[in-house]
Amino acid sequence: MAPLTIGKHTVRYPLIQGGMGVRISAGRLAGHIAKNGGVGLVAAAGIALNSGLYTGKNFFQAETEAFKTELHKAYQIAPDGVIGVNVMVALADFEPLVKAAVEGGAKVIVCGAGLPMGLPELTADHPDVALVPIVSSLRAAQLIARKWLKAYHRLPDAVVVEDPDTAGGHLGEKLENIGTGEYDQYATVRAVKAFFHDECSATVPVIAAGGVWDRADLEHALAEGADGVQMASRFVCTEECDASDEFKRRYMGCTKEDIGLIMSPAGLPGRAILNNKDNIRQYDLDHQTPCRMGCLKKCSYKESGERFCIVTALDRAQRGDVDTGLVFCGSNAWKADRITTVRAIFYELFGDGGKL
């Protein structure tokens, strides 16, 4: 398979590891993905929690410090690898986290959960950093590209097209539009590629995200016009993943029917393992959990106490409390049946084991 080039950075294999917040994809996983020839991503959201840097009162300061620390860990594993970050636009500290990422040496910045209209301005002093928005529609890609061209005289270095019918975590689509059978991911992939070619006279790699689990899925994505794939859930049940063993066992123990949609207090639907969904909200009620962090720009829990505190729910699961914690996943998480390694997955996908 052809290598993947994003801006000035080339990896041996056409694979980006998806960002999984609250320390599911931190430095260790991102480093091993990069070591094996893919793009490894440290996810920004909630990275301070369970880091040893958060005291209960310094969330935003600890977030930027922990972000840089995890990037450093990743580069210790893969000094020459392509290591980047995933920063949700919906985060209250989006701008400081982007700046921390470039200061920490991130080579790629992937942004979803909103349109990163001002991202080029934040990275203007670091022109070698590749900028990659996540979209689910041609319209979103057009809005971003036209804004960036007009205001900053640049285009995205790649675009991730996420399938809301299969992807895990926060989804960039309205709840009522997910699962209707009307969304065609690869028609969107081809339309985005054609837009850049025809209107912008540019070749911009388009990455397919959501539902990619094995080599057959990878080959299908490439055959349908994608230049690469983004995979997240597949890497949870690895020795290198930063999640707790209990989190990984929840993947291995779930069924297809256990996976569904939940409304996040961020105002976005999310895909998760839901056989404990009543316990998530009840925990905050029983413990009168306050909003101590204000991690999201918009949050119904922060504003009115509606739903639950998502960052603490994700944090509990990452630490091992999967009975009251939130376990995000993609639609194929039920296929996980064992703990494996990043190296073994790369061998399955690409046949020669990558950069071992």
Could you give the 3-state DSSP secondary structure of residue 326? coil
pLDDT for 291: 84
Domain membership of residue 355 (yes or no) is no
- What is the pLDDT of the chain when averaged over all its residues? 94
Q: What global pTM score does this model have?
A: 0.94
Kindly state whether residues 112 and 211 are assigned to the same domain: yes
Domain membership of residue 130 (yes or no) is yes
Burial-class residue 110 by CB neighbours within 10 Å (0-12, 13-18, 19+).
buried
pLDDT digits (tens, 9 = 90+) for 205-233: 999 999 999 999 999 999 999 999 999 99
Give the HSE-up count for residue 212: Cα atoms under 13 Å, Cβ half-sphere.
29
pLDDT digits (tens, 9 = 90+) for 279-336: 888 888 888 888 888 999 999 988 888 888 999 999 999 999 999 999 999 999 999 9
Q: How confident is the model at residue 2 (pLDDT cuts 50, 70, 90)?
A: very high
- β-pairing, 4-6 with 9-11? antiparallel
Residue 106 confidence (pLDDT) above 80: yes
- Alpha-carbon distance 153 to 155, whole Å? 7
Q: What angle do CA 242, 46, 129 make, to 5 degrees?
A: 85
Give the CA-trace dihedral at 124, 125, 129, 130, to 10 degrees: 10
pLDDT for 307: 85
Domain membership of residue 299 (yes or no) is yes
Kindly state whether residues 80 and 196 are assigned to the same domain: yes
pLDDT for 58: 94
Kindly state whether residues 44 and 28 are assigned to the same domain: yes
DSSP summary character for residue 256: G
Kindly state whether residues 237 and 270 are assigned to the same domain: no
82-111: average pLDDT: 97
Domain membership of residue 256 (yes or no) is yes
Check the CA dihedral 66-103-167-347 and report its sign.
negative
Kindly state whether residues 345 and 319 are assigned to the same domain: no
Domain membership of residue 127 (yes or no) is yes
pLDDT digits (tens, 9 = 90+) for 261-292: 999 998 899 999 998 888 888 888 888 888 88
Kindly state whether residues 68 and 113 are assigned to the same domain: yes
Which tokens belong to 54?
């958060």
| Packed helices 342-350 and 215-223: angle between N→C axes, nearest 10 degrees | 50
Kindly state whether residues 145 and 116 are assigned to the same domain: yes
Q: How confident is the model at residue 352 (pLDDT cuts 50, 70, 90)?
A: low
Give the CA-trace dihedral at 275, 276, 278, 280, to 10 degrees: -140
Residue 182 confidence (pLDDT) above 50: yes
Kindly state whether residues 145 and 260 are assigned to the same domain: no
Instruction: Give residue 180's domain range.
Output: 4-243+337-350
pLDDT for 354: 44
- Alpha-carbon distance 44 to 167, whole Å? 18
Domain membership of residue 14 (yes or no) is yes
Kindly state whether residues 197 and 294 are assigned to the same domain: no
Distance set, CA 22 to CA 77, 91, 129, 244 (Å): 20, 12, 23, 12
Backbone angles phi, psi at 13, to 5 degrees: -120, 150
Kindly state whether residues 147 and 289 are assigned to the same domain: no
Residue 104 sits in a domain whose CATH number is: 3.20.20.70
pLDDT for 355: 46
Contacts of residue 290, defined as CB under 8 A and 6 or more positions apart, other chains included, come to: none
Domain membership of residue 356 (yes or no) is no
- Alpha-carbon distance 194 to 51, whole Å? 43
pLDDT digits (tens, 9 = 90+) for 45-71: 999 999 999 998 999 999 999 999 999
Kindly state whether residues 229 and 259 are assigned to the same domain: no
Kindly state whether residues 201 and 284 are assigned to the same domain: no
Smallest Cα–Cα separation from 132: which of 21, 221, 19, 210?
19
Any idea how long the chain is?
Answer: 356
Domain membership of residue 69 (yes or no) is yes
User: Domains in the chain: how many in total?
Assistant: 2
